[in-house]
Amino acid sequence: METLYLLIPISVVLVFLIGIAFWWSLRSGQFDDLEGPAYRILMDDDSVPAAAQGEPGTSPPDSTSGQD
């Protein structure tokens, strides 16, 4: 029983220290995603819209608008 009087306060202090270390790491940017934006560029959807392909039921883009 005497060991619980020692172990419980030590564990509470340890939990607070771990929480402070985790909070510091979040605030200092340790968990920022540095590779995600680079992969998002590679996985960009490069498909052509249906109207530009001339699919049936869609009107072609107006080639005269904006040109004089």
Start-to-end CA distance of the chain, whole Å, equals 92
Kindly state whether residue 12 falls inside one of the protein's structural domains.
Answer: yes
Confidence label for 49 from pLDDT (cuts 50, 70 and 90): low
Name the average pLDDT for the chain. 80
Residue 36 tokens read as 């995600």
pLDDT score for 65: 58
Kindly state whether residue 59 falls inside one of the protein's structural domains.
Answer: no
Rounded to 5 degrees, what angle do the CA atoms 50, 54, 57 make?
80
Q: How far apart are CA 46 and CA 54, in angstroms?
A: 17
Domain residues for the domain of 12 are 1-30
- Average pLDDT (28-49) is 78
Q: How far apart are CA 66 and CA 64, in angstroms?
A: 6
pLDDT score for 54: 60
Kindly state whether residue 25 falls inside one of the protein's structural domains.
Answer: yes
Kindly state whether residue 63 falls inside one of the protein's structural domains.
Answer: no
Q: How many domains does the chain have?
A: 1
Kindly state whether residue 66 falls inside one of the protein's structural domains.
Answer: no
